[in-house]
Amino acid sequence: MQRLTNKRVVLGVTGSVAAYKAGEVIRELQRAGAEVRVVMTRGAEAFVAPLTFQALSGHPVHRELLDPGAEAAMGHIALARWADCILVAPASADFLARLAAGRADDLLTAVCLARGVPLALAPAMNARMWEDAATRANVQTLRNRGVLFLGPEEGGQACGEEGPGRLLDPVVLAARLGELFEVGSLQGRRVLVTAGPTREPLDPVRFFSNRSSGRMGFAVAAAAAEAGARVTLVAGPVALEAPDRVERVDVTTAEEMLAAVSRFAPEADVFISAAAVADYRPREVRPGKIKRTGESLTVELVPNPDILATVKSRWPQVFCVGFAAETGDLDRHARAKLAAKGVELIAANLVGPAAPEAGGVFDAEDNALTLYWEGGSMELGLAPKDKLARALVAAIAQRLAAWEAGGGGTVVSLHRR
Ligand code: C5P
């Protein structure tokens, strides 16, 4: 399981011969789902070139405390705020001493001092240095301040001696770091969400669209990320900021939305189709602006692809959730939609005059949903959209587990995982 999904880890690398193993640590953290930014001390640079870690982490390595350029991009306070945890691997004897003394005379010590998040240290040094009274005292001081020590291991050392001082295995390091965080109900799952309306052009200045604000879909994407999922959000034209830790892809038309969804669906565990996709588009987009003539105008509309039904038929291993906005007879319409689209779950709500208490729902703060699946249903009462989204995600996680236990999603996922 990817215990570090959506977690941001600052990896500090200090001057120890084990610095070369920090590359493997980056890889294991990424494999566990984390995003990694590397901070190197001067001592570390004597062992490994920063470019190595830049290539592995995909981001420039942070090195200087008093570099105006670097500080403007992401200074020590910003780095400390960005992180969900800090791991220093390897942590040298000198680094432990400087941290214990509360120094902040290089970037890594300054970031550690400015943090409000857990700090874990993976020491690596000569066994005698680890057992020296000064190092023992520093370790005790740091432990008393709540710093977590991971390792060191016993064994043969680079200097030829035997004893405690080897860097803990990177796989174990990543696993132990993951234990710092709670496991969410969709931990490590890949979730694809669509949100907002689509816009279907008629001419260069006009289009057909609808009143969807995208707020429900954005709230669902945020809630899924909060539950530990890796979320991709395919959004139509909306005036909303992307939720934190969510990958956003912007589209305009239904056909663009289908193309974007088709790129991510093969890897997805769950598809949540919250977009209000335009059912029709003009057969032709006029090249020039349509002029007013005083005559009536007929525009021929052709059906758009049904994105949800397409995903379910092309990638049956994906657990699919559809929305149904109805003006009445919720049960009947939702059950019909469940069957017609072949999806695992329908989240249905009343819209328009039938839902006055939710302000007609579009662009409203509150919403109420009833969930339908084969053989069951469940009401999620009127609530703010973000609260409702969390309840919906919890219900999706439950239904997903039941579906998988019943054999759903297994055939292809055996090959995928
Ligand atoms: O059939 P109806 O439009 O009522 O179904 C609504 C559900 O189907 C929603 O989940 C919506 O996102 C999805 N849908 C779609 N592509 C369409 C129309 C609807 O994915 N062209």
Third-level CATH fold of 190-283+296-406:
Rossmann fold (3.40.50)
pLDDT recorded at residue 411:
54
pLDDT recorded at residue 75:
86
pLDDT in tens, 79-88: 999 999 999 9
pLDDT recorded at residue 133:
98
- For residue 245, the tally of other CB atoms under 10 A from its CB is 18
Q: Whose CA is nearest to atom 21 of ligand 1?
A: 306
Residues 6 and 83: beta-carbon distance below 8 Å: no
Q: Three-state SS for 18?
A: helix
pLDDT in tens, 137-189: 999 999 999 999 999 999 888 888 888 999 999 999 999 999 999 999 999 99
Instruction: Report which of residues 89 and 163 the model is more confident about.
Output: 89
Asked if omega into 152 is within 30° of 0 (cis), the reply is: yes
> Where does ligand 1 bind, in terms of residues with CB under 6 Å?
254, 273, 275, 277, 279, 304, 306-308, 322-324, 337
Alpha carbon of 164 to ligand 1 centroid (Å): 61
Alpha carbon of 125 to ligand 1 centroid (Å): 60
Mutate to test the pocket of ligand 1, among 308, 315, 326, 351 (most ligand atoms within 8 A of CB): 308
Q: What's the half-sphere exposure (Cβ side, CA atoms, 13 Å) at 386?
A: 4
Q: Whose CA is nearest to atom 17 of ligand 1?
A: 306
Amino acid code (one letter) for 117 = V
pLDDT recorded at residue 416:
44
Written as one string, the DSSP assignment of 21-67 is GHHHHHHHHHHTT-EEEEEE-HHHHTTS-HHHHHHHHTSPPB--SS-
Q: Provide the 8-state DSSP code for 125.
A: -
Atom of ligand 1 nearest to the CA of 323: 10
Atom of ligand 1 nearest to the CA of 346: 10
pLDDT recorded at residue 414:
44
pLDDT in tens, 7-33: 999 999 999 999 999 999 999 999 999
> What is the pLDDT confidence band of residue 355, given thresholds at 50, 70 and 90?
low
Residues 285 and 298: beta-carbon distance below 8 Å: no
Q: Which residues contact 267 (CB under 8 A, 6 or more apart)?
A: 190, 416
Residues 153 and 169: beta-carbon distance below 8 Å: yes
Residues designated as active site = 159
pLDDT in tens, 292-330: 999 999 999 999 999 999 999 999 999 999 999 898 999
Q: Where in the chain is the domain with CATH 3.40.50.1950?
A: 8-178
Predicted structure pTM score = 0.90
Task: Cite the beta strand spans of 85-198 per DSSP E.
Answer: 85-91, 119-123, 148-149, 153-156, 162-166, 190-195
Alpha carbon of 42 to ligand 1 centroid (Å): 56
pLDDT recorded at residue 409:
80
Q: Where in the chain is the domain with CATH 3.40.50.10300?
A: 190-283+296-406
pLDDT in tens, 230-281: 999 999 999 999 999 999 999 999 999 999 999 999 999 999 999 999 999 9
The pLDDT > 90 percentage for the chain reads 85
Residues 114 and 122: beta-carbon distance below 8 Å: no
Asked if omega into 90 is within 30° of 0 (cis), the reply is: yes
Alpha carbon of 232 to ligand 1 centroid (Å): 18
* The architecture CATH gives domain 8-178: 3-Layer(aba) Sandwich (3.40)
Our CA angle for 176, 182, 188, nearest 5°, is 85
**Cα 373 from Cα 392, distance rounded (Å):** 13
pLDDT recorded at residue 413:
44
